[in-house]
Amino acid sequence: MVLIFNEILDLFGFLSATAYTLVPGIFLYQLNSNILNEERLSIIGILCLYFNGLIYFIRSIVFYKEEIDIRDFCNLAGAYLGFIYIVIYLKHFYYKTNKKKFVLLIVIITLSSLAVILLEIIMKKNDIVMKVVEWVGAIFNICEYLPIGFSLFHLIKNKISEKYTLFGAFLGLLNTTIWIIWAISKIEENKLHSFIANIFGLLLCLIQISIFFIFRKGESKENKNVIDANDDISTNIIPNLETPTGDDDDYINKEKTTSEIINDFI
User: In this structure, which long-range contacts are made by residues 179-186, counting pairs with CB atoms below 8 Å and at least 24 apart in sequence?
Assistant: 179/13, 179/16, 179/17, 181/9, 182/9, 182/10, 182/12, 182/13, 185/7, 185/9
Residue 213 Cα distances to 166, 181, 218, angstroms: 10, 27, 9
User: Where in the chain does DSSP place strands (E)?
Assistant: 2-4, 67-69
- The pLDDT value recorded for residue 4 is 60
Return the domain boundaries, the chain: 2-220
Q: How far is CA 117 from CA 57, 85, 265, in A?
A: 10, 20, 64
**One-letter amino acid of 145:** Y
User: Which stretches in the chain have pLDDT values below 70?
Assistant: 1-6, 65-68, 219-266
**Contacts for 54-59: CB closer than 8 Å, 24+ residues apart:** 54/78, 54/79, 54/82, 54/113, 54/116, 54/117, 55/116, 55/120, 55/133, 55/136, 55/137, 55/140, 56/137, 56/141, 58/116, 58/117, 58/120, 58/121, 59/120, 59/130, 59/133, 59/134, 59/137
Identity of the residue numbered 185: S
Alpha carbon distance 266, 251 (integer Å): 23
The Cα angle at residue 54 between residues 188 and 45, in degrees rounded to 5: 100
How big is the chain by its Cα radius of gyration, in Å?
Answer: 27
